Amino acid sequence: MRKFEKISYEQFKKDFMDDKELYDTYLLPRRSTINAAAYDFFALYDYVLKPGEIKKIPTGVKVIMESDDALLLLDRSSMGFKYNVRFCNQVGVIDADYYDNSDNNGHMWICIQNEGKKDYVVKKGDRMCQGMFIKYLKTDDDDDSEFVTRTSNY
C-alpha cells in the first residue's frame, strides 16, 4: 500500500500550531495530471523566502509505503529555473520505516534556500514541492538480519 496521511493533530500542534480548522482542511499530496510522475505537496501557510534566506517548512504529511519503496522529495522545476530556490539537501529520501516513528510521527519537512536575487513568495495551497515513489534494489549479499528496526528519527 502507498498512501499519504496527515500527521496526528497532536504532532501538528507540536510542530506547527494549534489550529484545528487548518488541520481539517489542508490538502494531502496529489498528482496534477494523468501522466504526472510525482505528487504535488501544498503549502500549509503563506511564506516569503528572502534572497539568501533558508527556511524549514512543515508539510503536515506522513507516508506509508511498501518495504522496498522510497519516496523522493524534490523541488519543483520552476523553483530553480524562475527563482534560483532549491532544497538544502538537494533531494529528500524518505524510507518506508520513517512512517509513524516515535520522534515525530513520520512528519516530513523540507528545507529550502533562496539563492536568487528576488523574494520567493508562496501562498497557502500553492504547490511547494513534489514527491516521487521509487522501487529500490539491494545487493545479493545484503543481510537484513544485521539491521535494527527504526524506533525514532535518526
- pLDDT 10s digits, 18-76: 999 999 999 999 999 999 999 999 999 999 999 999 999 999 999 999 999 999 999 99
CB contact at 8 A, 66 and 82: no
Domain 3-136 in CATH 3.40.50.2300? The answer is: no
pLDDT at 149: 65
Q: Which residues contact 14 (CB under 8 A, 6 or more apart)?
A: none
% of the chain at pLDDT higher than 70 = 95
pTM of the model: 0.91
Q: In angstroms, rounded to a whole number, what is the distance separating the alpha carbons of residues 54 and 42?
A: 18
* Terminal-residue alpha carbon distance, the chain: 24
